[in-house]
Amino acid sequence: MNFHVLTLFPEMIEAAFTTSITGRAMASGLLNLNAVNIRDYAEEKRKGRIDDYSYGGGAGMIMQAEPVYRAFCAAAAGLENPRVLFMTPQGRTFDQHFAAELAQEKDLVFLCGHYEGIDQRVLDEIVTDEVSIGDYVLTGGELPALVMMDAIARLVPGVLSNEDSAQTESFMGDGLLEYPQYSRPEEWHGKQVPPILLSGDHGKVDRWRREQSLLRTAQRRPDLCGGAVLDKKDRKFIREAGLEEYYDI
Ligand code: 6GU
């Protein structure tokens, strides 16, 4: 997977992405990062400036169309119709399904805005998807791009050392939240590890974990319960625990 990022802060993208799991995947050639500095594509006469006043007035500077377009042409040279994702709070909200869809692509172009916005004409010409990471406002598109890149990268085969871990986690297979986990020691600050986890009975452990996931999802994210994939034992537990109001059973 090749990530192309159009940004005024390529160091920020490089620093985060070359760290930890995504960094390891880059070293092994599974992921590639091409961070392009939009400022390098400023018009000659403007001496490195890429922003200007907003027509019609109002506070804030606007990123001009031409430097953004030139940076895009440089980054996307040789690519045929890549997805071009513009990071904006006006966009469609990013989620795990969208991450899985984007993980199928060979190349993704991320456009990160700053200042008060980007000239609409270049957006109309190059952007395929406008994406937000949630209902709050950030100072620029770099953190949203990194959030999306991380969520997409871990779905690329081979990026996670244990391939299964991407599958069994929250939201993916069954649409439920993760169960709680414990490690040594058996007692910490007077708190015991749930005894069933020490029983050595894998069937009982799996059942307990499943029930914890069902409970947690009802308590914390009732909005997810309707989308959960349930079997007969799940439905029995849901009735016994009085969670019928949350789940479609
Ligand atoms: Cl994609 N950009 C900015 N600037 N703020 C955001 C966002 C994106 N998503 C949520 N807030």
Tell me how far apart the alpha carbons of residues 35 and 14 are, in angstroms, rounded to a whole number: 7
The 10s digit of each residue's pLDDT in 186-211 is: 999 999 999 999 999 999 999 999 99
Compute, in angstroms, the gap from residue 135 CA to the centroid of ligand 1.
Answer: 8
Compute, in angstroms, the gap from residue 45 CA to the centroid of ligand 1.
Answer: 31
Cβ 82 under 6 angstroms from ligand 1 = no
Per-domain residue ranges of the chain: 2-153, 173-241
Q: Do domains 2-153 and 173-241 have the same CATH topology?
A: no
List the residue whose alpha carbon is closest to atom 2 of ligand 1: 88
Cβ 87 under 6 angstroms from ligand 1 = yes
Task: Please choose from 5, 138, 139, 146 the residue to mutate so as to test ligand 1's pocket, defined by most ligand atoms within 8 A of CB.
Answer: 138
The 10s digit of each residue's pLDDT in 83-128 is: 999 999 999 999 999 999 999 999 999 999 998 999 999 999 999 9
Cβ 175 under 6 angstroms from ligand 1 = no
Q: Write the CATH number of the domain with boundaries 2-153.
A: 3.40.1280.10
Tell me how far apart the alpha carbons of residues 121 and 65 are, in angstroms, rounded to a whole number: 7
- This prediction has a pTM of 0.94
Residues 6+ away with beta carbon under 8 Å from 130: 85, 86, 88, 90, 91, 92, 123
Q: Write the CATH number of the domain with boundaries 173-241.
A: 1.10.1270.20
